[in-house]
Structure 1
């Protein structure tokens, strides 16, 4: 397909994003129309295999029919699995977890607009990935004002090749993005394309007063929300969660520990539960529960007495298991602390405050750490 045809694909993508309400400002629309997304997917991607059982992935190579047109779909594409495996490494299907991807363009441009950049701003991007969002930043600001940190050397090298093919040469750093990159600080804007358990204070230190940090704050129960914080003169960043769900892969250094051997669910202490586990089906309630038990993982386990809904904090050796007993729910808890007690306390307090939405939550990051709570009427 000719350069003229790919330009048409880029214009069509920009039109679709604008018509759907994701793209609002002329500078970012121009960037979408000019930056060729397919250059960042030349190494191929993985598509999900629709079949019963565990999720499998099948490689789609650049020479595959329809590959180029698919590059301009508003879709996320997995570009690496298991930490090292690229599409060219696989023949057939693979049953491993995704570890890098090209985020759907509508989310990319939504976040770039939420970042509120202006001409002359210096931006730190955490998570280079394929480099597509880096390319959009370079087009908008100039590559001398863009620094992007990627933990995976191979991913960073592929992004550098793709960016160079487009004529962009930002400062690409291989390292732990949670540490930022102080050599190019201070920044006017920091944006993370991975989720974090806690916004690192290093990002706050490396951002000018009045600067903005945009990051998805999540937990091991997989509740997440996009936060926008402004750094104050006092060295504390404060902000709110933005409307609309956002989910990214968790920063690799913050991945949860393996579950290992599950606890003996007949041990511990049992009591009637004040809340059923179905309360966690609500995304905001799940986020509140995650605040109460920030290092707990959530799973279900079928058993002869019915399904157990389990919270497990591996490092603390604490656990809670809920099961239905006739018309009521009971919870059995073990280890130091009582996970479900803490979750119930937070949820009942949140419900008593009229269950505020995530947009009514405040987040603060200071040298003492991160604090998240909802605003009370």
Structure 2
């Protein structure tokens, strides 16, 4: 009896599907399995990638020098960084910032499931990246029904070449994905592969009534979550959040804000007070806690400063606005079972008081997790709601980014 022979690629693919199925809680749907077989993930990765180690530091992996490591990454359920610093690799590795990646396959298939596609549907993808998602969509729906937009011209060309090499030819557009792509609108589905802090109105207006917008989400406080909106007949859209993996922020919504360059100045004279709220309770807690606080706090972000070279301070938590006009610092002196922490605040807003109020609100409402929150978008604005989008259930947290803002 002769046993069937399997190539390393086939074995790796089968192993990856098992991992993805475990993540999903069921087998990968046949239509997506056949799409992944026709568009192998490794064919969409560049020869040079960056991988995270146990210490989360990125290290380069070149296919020519480390073919086994490169191939293992291609068929592991992990995100693979494919570009650093918008294509300009830094001289110092400590300055390396991922700017494009191939998402973990489990998240890819999770999002494809959430799209709830049917034959004949038209899809706009925002963020072509390597082209892998567009290939899976094209296999399922046909090239003519898929448009993918990529802001980076080098990545757009690479995605187009990868797609052509695997036999697919969806429309690949180099442009600002936050504007959608009007020539092919309206779409049945709009899917983003980058996170947003504010849903672009163009995505709603370019989606058919009853269609859906699916996007990763983040706030300045924490990155993570998915948002699925259904578009109504009045130009609005509404839907719920789920807790899922983090994505890179859309380039046009970035802010390059640094504490000691843009926020904390030598001439600031902060007000001193104390707090009983443990800073780790709000800034080093579970994802669900920080997700809720991020929605409530809107335009606030934080950074830890360990061993800040300040007498009597072991650790300092900084909180600031995305506009840089206000900041707060909470100090821990290293004492066990600290009852109160020193607080410093500067600017027109008292940020730590806002954090304390948001935390009280979260406790009073039963410690809600991501699934209890939703978002409604209208031509006039957008707001978060708790449990149901009914009158009195929503709150208009200060937006991290105004609709008219543009950040390079």
Q: TM-score, normalised by structure 2?
A: 0.83
Of stretches 41-50 and 114-123 in structure 1, the one that deviates more from structure 2 is: 41-50
1:317 to 314, 319, 325: 325
Residue 133 of structure 1: how far off its partner (Å): 1.2
By how many angstroms is 1:17 displaced?
1.9
- Select between 288-297 and 116-125 the one with higher mean Cα deviation: 288-297
- With 229-238 and 269-278 compared, the bigger mean Cα shift is at 269-278
Any residues of structure 2 matched to 1:298-337 within 5 Å, and which? 298-301=302-305, 302=308, 303-306=310-313, 307-324=315-332, 327-337=339-349
Instruction: Find the counterpart in structure 2 of residue 214 from structure 1.
Output: 214
- 2:197–2:219: 8 Å Cα contact kept in structure 1? yes
Unaligned 5+ residue runs, structure 2? 394-408
The reply to whether residue 346 of structure 1 matches residue 342 of structure 2 is no
| Residue number in structure 2 paired with 1:371 | 383
Q: Deviations over 1:274-330 (max 9, x none)?
A: 522122223233223323433332112223221221111252410011123652123
Q: Which runs of 5+ in 1 are unaligned?
A: none
> How many Å separate the matches in 1 of 2:94 and 2:365?
47
Separation of aligned partners in 1, 2:268 and 2:93:
40
Distance 2:46 2:270 in 1: 54
Q: Which residue of 1 aligns with 2:81?
A: 78
Relative to structure 1, is the Cα distance of residues 109 and 166 closer, same or farther in structure 2, using a 3 angstrom cutoff? same
My pick for the range that moved more, 365-374 or 113-122, is 365-374
Deviates more, 1:72-81 or 1:283-292: 283-292
Contact 1:196 1:216 in 2 (8 A): yes
2:398 aligned residue: none
Q: After TM superposition, give the deviation of residue 36 of structure 1 in Å.
A: 1.1
Work out whether residues 223 and 286 of structure 1, in 8 Å CA contact, stay in contact via their aligned partners in 2.
no
Give, in whole Å, the separation in 1 of the partners of 2:71 and 2:223: 34
CA distance in 2, matches of 1:208, 1:107: 25
Q: Deviation at 1:226?
A: 0.6
Aligned length: 370
Check if 1:149 corresponds to 2:149. Answer: yes
Query: In the alignment, what sits opposite 2:176?
Result: 176
RMSD: 2.6
Q: Does the residue aligned with 1:196 lie in a helix, a strand or coil? A: coil
- 1:65 has 2:67 as partner: yes
Q: Secondary structure at the match of 1:118?
A: coil
Q: Using a 3 Å threshold, how does the CA distance of structure 1 residues 362 and 268 change in structure 2: closer, same or farther?
A: same
Secondary structure of the equivalent of 2:116? Answer: coil
Alignment of 1:192-211 (within 5 A): 192-211=192-211
Please state how far the C-alpha of 1:258 moved relative to its aligned partner. 2.4
Look up the match of 1:36: 40
What does 1:1-377 align with in structure 2 at a 5 Å threshold? 5-21=8-24, 23-48=27-52, 55-62=57-64, 64-66=66-68, 67-85=70-88, 95-242=95-242, 244-259=243-258, 260-261=261-262, 262-263=264-265, 267-280=269-282, 281-301=285-305, 302=308, 303-306=310-313, 307-324=315-332, 327-375=339-387
Residue aligned with 1:194, SS: coil
Of 26-35 and 98-107, more deviation after overlay is shown by: 26-35
- Superposed CA deviations along residues 95-115 of structure 1, whole A, max 9, x for unmatched, are 511111111111100111011
Greater shift, 61-70 or 253-262, is seen at: 61-70
Deviation of 1:236 after TM superposition, in Å, equals 0.7
Q: Write the distance in 2 (CA, Å) between the matches of 1:95 and 1:316.
A: 22
Q: CA deviation at 1:49?
A: 5.5
TM (normalized to structure 1)? 0.90
How big is each residue's C-alpha offset from its partner over 1:18-58, in whole Å with a ceiling of 9 and x where there is no partner? 2443654221122122211111014331123567xx93422
Evaluate the alpha carbon distance shift between residue 217 and residue 65 of structure 1 in structure 2; reply closer, same or farther with a 3 A threshold: closer
Q: Cα deviations across residues 108-130 of structure 1 (Å, max 9, x unaligned)?
A: 00111011111111011111111
Contact 1:220 1:256 in 2 (8 A): no
